[in-house]
Amino acid sequence: MGFDIEAIIKTAGYVGLFLIVFAETGLLIGFFLPGDTLLLSAGLLIQQDKVGLELWVLIPLLVAAAIIGDAVGYQVGKHTGPRIFRKEDSRLFHRDHLLRAQNFYDRHGGKTIVLARFLAFIRTFAPTVAGAAKMPYSKFASYNVVGAALWVPSMTLTGYYFGKAIPANSIDLFFIGLVVLMVAASTAPALFHLWRERRKGHAAQ
């Protein structure tokens, strides 16, 4: 697999898992962390009594980590966004990107914050873009809580109930399949968007 998810969860414990979820949702450098895989695996390993953690403790703890992480990401965007988008000829950004993001969040902000929870990479950057786009914090905070309350329990409990059906000697194979599934689920929306844009381009010719 390239990493031992069971060892990571055992070593990290409650505090480490809190920090991982916080970093993935709140810090731009956390985009590479295995959020979905971690939650599913934690639920599965708890069901099989392999990591010494309690589900009733872990779920609310990680919901809190996800909420706090997104709140921090929002503040990062709010305070750095105007500087990032100040120059029209920026190498990586343009002012019109910020204006488009602001318009997008005005129309779809709540839905974006909730759905982004279930999409790797997007989950990390969505709150920062919301802050940069000046989405009202009261609106952001509401959807932040809803998204976290849906994401953490759904992923963790799915892993927990899967754990009942997976023999202990098949758990490594399950983790491999899980990683493949998470990568596919995370990249599918971007691939679909590229395909749709290419199709529009061909139709316009």
Given this model, what pLDDT does residue 161 score?
87
Contact (CB, 8 A) for 38 and 9: yes
* In the predicted structure, residue 87 carries a pLDDT above the cut 80: no
- Nearest-5° angle of CA 105, CA 117, CA 29? 90
Please give the DSSP secondary-structure letter assigned to residue 166. Answer: S
Residues 169-194 have a mean pLDDT of 58
Please give the DSSP secondary-structure letter assigned to residue 121. Answer: T
Work out the number of other CB atoms within 10 angstroms of the CB of residue 67.
22
Per the model's pLDDT, the better-predicted residue between 187 and 134 turns out to be: 134
Q: How confident is the model at residue 132 (pLDDT cuts 50, 70, 90)?
A: confident
* In the predicted structure, residue 61 carries a pLDDT above the cut 70: yes
CA distances (Å), 47 to each of 8, 78, 131, 159, in order? 17, 40, 38, 8
pLDDT over 70 for what percent of the chain?
A: 66
Q: How confident is the model at residue 4 (pLDDT cuts 50, 70, 90)?
A: confident
Q: How confident is the model at residue 162 (pLDDT cuts 50, 70, 90)?
A: confident
Given this model, what pLDDT does residue 187 score?
57
Question: In terms of residue numbers, what domain contains 136?
Answer: 5-204
* In the predicted structure, residue 94 carries a pLDDT above the cut 60: no
Given this model, what pLDDT does residue 84 score?
59
Domain count, the chain: 1
Q: How confident is the model at residue 1 (pLDDT cuts 50, 70, 90)?
A: very low
Give Cβ neighbours of residue 79 (< 8 Å, ≥ 6 apart). Answer: 131
- Among the ranges given (31-35, 40-44, 135-139, 183-187), the one the predictor scored with the smallest mean pLDDT: 183-187
